[in-house]
C-alpha cells in the first residue's frame, strides 16, 4: 500500500465550521465517515483505532466533530445536544455533501461508521442521501433513535453490539426489525457497551472491515 495523505479539514456549515481529520490511502476509492457518539469527538480513541485499521485495509476515513467547541462546552454541562439526533444528522449530511464537492473525494463511495447516538444520526443521514451512502455500520449504537427514518434507509446496515450490553441489544433488535435493506446484527461475546475488554475492539474493527470490504465494492 502506498502513502496515506493525512489532512486536517474544515467543513463549512452556514455560520459555523466543523473540524475534521481526513486520511486517504494512495489509490483509495471509498471513504468511511465516522459519526461519534454521546459526549465524544473526532478524538475518540476507539473510533480512531477503528479508523486506523480501516486505513490499513485501504479505506479513506473522515473523523469530524459534530459539535463546535462552544457547543461541546455547553453539552458537557447539559448533555442535551448529544441526543439532538436531528442536529447531528443534519451535520452528517452536510459533511457528506462537502465530501462530494471536494476534488479528492467527489467520486468516492461512502460508508458511515456510527457509535452510540451517532449511529442514529448515520441512519437518518443515509436515508436522506440514498444515492451517496452505500452502507452503515453501528458500534454499540442507538439505531432505535432513528425511529421513522429506519424504513427509508437504502444502505446496507450492520449493527455491532456487545454481548453484555443487554439493554442496547434489545434496542438494536427493535431497529433491525424495522430496516428493509440488507442487514445483519453481530453480537461480540463478553463485550460491554464501550468494548473496553481485551481484544474486543479489535474484533469490532475486523468485523467492520470485512463488512465495508463487502459492501463498498472494490477499494481501488
Domain range list for the chain: 4-215
Give the number of residues written for the chain.
220
Q: What is the helix (H) or strand (E) element at residue 57, kind and residue range?
A: none
- The pLDDT-based confidence of 164 (bands split at 50, 70, 90) is very high
Task: Give percent of the chain above pLDDT 70.
Answer: 91
- The 10s digit of each residue's pLDDT in 19-65 is 999 999 999 999 999 998 655 567 778 889 999 999 999 999 999 98
Q: Are strands 4-13 and 16-25 parallel, antiparallel or unpaired?
A: antiparallel
DSSP string, 58-85: T-EEEEE-SS-HHHHHHHHHH--GGG-H
The reported pLDDT for the residue numbered 36 is 82
Q: What is the pTM of this model?
A: 0.93
DSSP state of 151: G
Q: For the beta carbon of residue 8, count every other beta carbon within 10 angstroms.
A: 9
The answer on pLDDT for 149 being more than 60 is yes
Query: How is domain 4-215 classified at the architecture level of CATH?
Result: 3-Layer(aba) Sandwich (3.40)
- The 10s digit of each residue's pLDDT in 54-100 is 999 999 999 998 888 787 777 676 666 666 899 999 999 999 999 99
The reported pLDDT for the residue numbered 3 is 78
Q: CB–CB of 85/121 below 8 Å? A: yes
Amino acid at each position: 500500500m502506498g502513502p496515506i495523505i493525512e489532512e486536517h479539514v474544515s467543513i463549512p456549515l452556514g455560520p459555523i465550521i466543523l473540524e475534521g481529520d481526513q486520511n486517504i490511502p494512495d489509490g483509495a476509492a471509498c471513504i468511511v465517515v465516522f459519526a461519534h457518539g454521546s459526549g465524544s469527538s473526532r478524538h475518540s480513541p476507539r473510533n480512531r483505532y477503528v479508523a486506523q485499521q480501516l486505513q490499513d485495509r485501504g479505506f479513506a476515513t473522515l473523523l469530524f466533530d459534530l459539535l463546535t467547541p462552544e457547543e461541546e462546552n455547553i453539552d458537557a454541562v447539559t448533555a442535551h445536544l448529544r441526543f439532538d439526533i436531528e442536529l447531528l444528522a443534519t451535520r452528517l449530511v452536510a459533511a457528506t455533501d462537502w465530501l462530494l464537492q471536494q476534488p479528492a473525494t467527489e467520486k468516492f463511495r461512502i460508508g458511515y461508521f456510527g457509535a452510540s447516538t451517532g449511529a442514529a444520526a448515520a441512519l437518518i443521514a443515509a436515508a436522506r442521501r440514498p444515492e451517496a451512502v452505500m452502507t452503515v455500520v453501528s458500534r454499540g449504537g442507538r439505531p432505535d433513535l432513528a425511529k421513522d427514518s429506519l424504513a427509508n434507509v437504502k444502505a446496507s446496515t450492520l449493527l455491532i453490539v456487545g454481548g453484555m450490553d443487554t439493554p442496547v441489544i434489545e434496542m438494536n433488535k427493535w431497529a433491525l426489525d424495522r430496516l428493509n435493506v440488507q442487514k445483519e446484527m453481530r453480537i461480540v461475546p463478553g463485550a460491554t457497551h464501550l468494548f473496553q475488554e481485551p481484544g474486543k475492539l479489535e474484533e469490532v474493527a475486523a468485523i467492520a472491515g470485512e463488512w465495508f470490504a463487502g459492501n463498498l465494492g472494490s477499494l481501488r
